[in-house]
Structure 1
Amino acid sequence: MKIVTGGAGFIGSNIVKQLNNRGIDDILIVDDLTDGRKCRNLQGLSFYDYMDYEDFAQEMADDTFDCGYIDVVFHEGACSDTMNYDGRYMMKNNYEGSKNLLRYCMQRKIPFLYASSASTYGSGKHGFRETPECEQALNPYAYSKLQFDRFVRRMLPLSKGQIVGFRYFNVFGPQENHKDRMASLIYQKYHELQKTGKITLFEGTGGFGNGEQVRDFIYVNDVVNVIFYFWEHPELSGIYNCGTGTGHTFNDFVHGIIEYCGKGTIEYVPFPEILKGKYQSYTQADTTKLMAAGYDRGFTLLHEAVKEYCSILEKSDGYYE
C-alpha cells in the first residue's frame, strides 16, 4: 500500500496521477475534504481507499493505525496558507502531525518522503542552500516547516529507513484550483487576463523594478519526477531543494501567458503594506545537492510548461480530464 497524505490536494493528486500512469492503484489517500472543491481533484484517479486526515492523525498519535503492509508514504498533507498567522494551528497540523507520522514510519522502516518548503529560506539573503545558516522563517507556515526539517535532521542518524524532505520552490500546474490566493501566479494571472484583459503585477520593491521580482518556477510534473527519483533510490536520505536552479522574473512568466492567449497588457500596482518584510522577492534553488544525488531527469523549459498549463486551463479549467 502507498499512502499519500494531502492526496486530494495539488501536488498530492499529481503524485496519485503519476502512480496511476505507472499502473499503480494500491493507494490510500488521506486528506481533509472540508473544502469540497478538492473532490474534483480525485475524479479520474484510481485508488484503494480514502481516510479523513483527523482520523488518520489521531490513529497516528495513538499508534493504532493499521492498513497492512505499507511500502512508502508520500506526506504532502499540510496547511500551506502562508497568510494564516495562527501559529498554534500551524504547529499542531504541520509539525506535531508530521512528527507522529515520521515516528510511525521509522519504527517500521517505511520510506518517508515529505513536503518541505523554500519558504524556510525567508528573504533568501543568506542563500538557498540546504544548510542552517541559510534558513530564516518569516511566517508561521515557514516556521512549522523549518521546525520539522530540524526535527528530521535530528532523526536521520537514528533512522534505518529512507527519509527525504523536498523544499518546493514555486510550483505550478494542474489541480491547484482550490488553493485560491495560494494558487500559482500563472493560475491567478491566466484567469485575471480572461476577466479583465490585463494582468496586474506588483510595483518594484526590495531593490527590484516593476514586475522584476524573481522566482524559481517549477512545473508540478517535474516535482513528481524528483520525488519518484528518490523513491527509486532508497539509499538516499536528507533534505533537498526541489527547484530548477533558474530564476525568472514575474514579467517573463506572465508574458508567456499573454503570448499563449494572444492578448493582454501588464499593469503595475502598489506593493501591499501587509506583505512588506514577509515577502520573497527573489528565489532560486541551489541544486548542487540535488545534482550530487544523481538526479538526471531535467526540468521542463518554462515557456513549454506555461504553454502546456495554459492549454489545460483553457480546455478543462486546470483539471486533468
Structure 2
Amino acid sequence: MYIVTGGAGFIGANLVQALNQRGITDILVVDHLTRADKFLNLTDLEIADYLEAERFLNLLENDQMKGVEAVFHEGACSDTMATDGRYVMENNYQFSKTLLHWCQRHNVPFLYASSASVYGMTGTFVEERQAESPLNVYGFSKFQFDQYLRRMWPALRAPVHGFRYFNVYGPREFHKNRMASVALHFYRQYRLDKHVHLFAGTDGYADGEQRRDFIHIDDVVAVNLHFLDHPRSGIYNVGTGQAQSFNEVAVAVINGLERHAKRPAQDLSTLQKAQIIRYIHMPEALNGKYQSFTQANIHKLRYAGYDSPFLTVEEGVERYIHWLMERPN
C-alpha cells in the first residue's frame, strides 16, 4: 500500500494519478475534507481507502498501519497568510515528525513536501542553512521540519526525500482559491473580463516583471517518482532552475486561450497597450513579505541523478490551458 497525505489536494491528487498510471491502486489517501469540494480531485482516480488526518494519526500512533510501500507526505496548511501559528505548527511540523519517525521504525521510504518559502527574502536559493530565513509561519513550519530532519541524518534507516517546491501550477488546483497559481488566476480573469491583473513594479522590477521559478505539476510528480525508484536521501529544490516573469505567464495564458479559439497570438506590448494586461498596486498585507524573485538552484537535484528537462512557462501553460478547456469550470 502507498500512503498519500494531502491526497485530495493539488500535488497529492496528481501523485495518486501518477501511481494509477503505473497500475497502482492500493493507495490510502489521507486528508481533511473541511473543504468538501476537494473530493472532485479524486472522482476519476482509483484508491483503496480514505482517512481523515486525525483518524490516520491515531492508527499510526497505535501501530496499526501494515504493508506500507512508501509515504508521500503532501498534507499541510499551505496558506502563506495564515495567522494561527499553533494550528500551522501542529499540522505541518508535529504531524510531519510523527510520520517521519513511523517511517524510520518500519523502514518505509518517506517523500515529503518542503517549500521554497524557507528562503524568504535572502535572494539565494540553495539548500544551505545560511540561505534560509522564512517570512511567515507557513515557511517557518517547513524550515523547522527540514532542520529537525537534518539533525537525524546520521541515524536514518529508510530513505527520506524533502522537496522544496517553487511555484507549482497545473491541473487539480481549483479548490485552492487565492492560493491557486497565477496561471489559474489569469485564466479565470481573462475568460471572465477579457483582461488580467498583475502587480505593478516592486523592488526595482518593472510592472509585471517580478520573476518566479514556475514549475508544472507534471515535473513535480516526475521528481517524486524518480526518487521513489532511485532513492538518494536529501533535501532538494524542485524548480526549473529558470525564473520567468509574471508578464510571460500572462502572455502564455492569454495566447493559449486565443489559440484555442483559433485567433492569432499577441505580444506583451500589444496586450499592454490594449489594456488586456493591467497593473495594480500590491496589497499592504504583502509589503515586506513578497518574493519578487525566485530561481531554484537545481545543482543538487541534478547531481542526485534527476536529469530530465523541465517544461518552460510557455510549454507548461499551453499544456495546462488544454487541460482546463477540456473541463467544465
Same fold (TM over 0.5): yes
Aligned match of 1:248 in 240, 244, 247? Answer: 244
Question: SS of the residue aligned with 1:316?
Answer: coil
Q: Which AA in structure 1 matches 2:74?
A: E
Question: Do residues 278 (structure 1) and 278 (structure 2) align?
Answer: no
Matching of residues 183-194 of structure 1 within 5 Å: 183-194=180-191
Q: Which AA in structure 2 matches 1:215?
A: R
The 8 Å contact of residues 124 and 282 in structure 1, kept in 2 or not, is answered as: no
Question: SS of the residue aligned with 1:300?
Answer: coil
After TM superposition, give the deviation of residue 65 of structure 1 in Å. 3.9
Extract unaligned runs of 5+ from structure 2.
264-270
Matching of residues 30-41 of structure 1 within 5 Å: 30-41=30-41
Distance 1:276 1:254 in 2: 22
The 8 Å contact of residues 25 and 46 in structure 1, kept in 2 or not, is answered as: yes
Identity %: 49
The 8 Å contact of residues 248 and 313 in structure 2, kept in 1 or not, is answered as: no
Distance 2:328 2:127 in 1: 36
Residue-pair matches, total: 314
**What's the CA shift string for 1:265-309, capped at 9, x where partnerless?**
100001111101111110000000001001112212321210110
Length-normalised TM-score, structure 2: 0.93
Question: Do residues 311 (structure 1) and 322 (structure 2) align?
Answer: yes
Aligned match of 2:105 in 87, 104, 107? Answer: 107
Partner of 2:117 in structure 1? 119
Partner of 1:288 in structure 2? 299
Distance 1:186 1:64 in 2: 43
Matching of residues 17-166 of structure 1 within 5 Å: 17-60=17-60, 63-125=61-123, 127-166=124-163
The 8 Å contact of residues 124 and 280 in structure 1, kept in 2 or not, is answered as: no
**What's the CA shift string for 1:162-195, capped at 9, x where partnerless?**
0000000000000000000000000011001111
Aligned match of 1:197 in 194, 204, 215? Answer: 194
Distance 1:173 1:159 in 2: 34
Calculate the aligned-residue CA RMSD, in Å: 1.2
Q: Which AA in structure 2 matches 1:84?
A: A
Change (3 A) 1:148 1:37: same
After TM superposition, give the deviation of residue 212 of structure 1 in Å. 0.5
Distance 1:124 1:317 in 2: 41
Length-normalised TM-score, structure 1: 0.96
Distance 1:137 1:212 in 2: 23
Extract unaligned runs of 5+ from structure 1.
none
Distance 2:153 2:46 in 1: 33
The 8 Å contact of residues 59 and 65 in structure 2, kept in 1 or not, is answered as: no
Distance 1:49 1:154 in 2: 34
Aligned match of 2:233 in 226, 233, 237? Answer: 237
**What's the CA shift string for 1:110-163, capped at 9, x where partnerless?**
0000000000000132x0000000001100100000000000111121111100
Q: Which AA in structure 2 matches 1:64?
A: N
After TM superposition, give the deviation of residue 58 of structure 1 in Å. 3.2
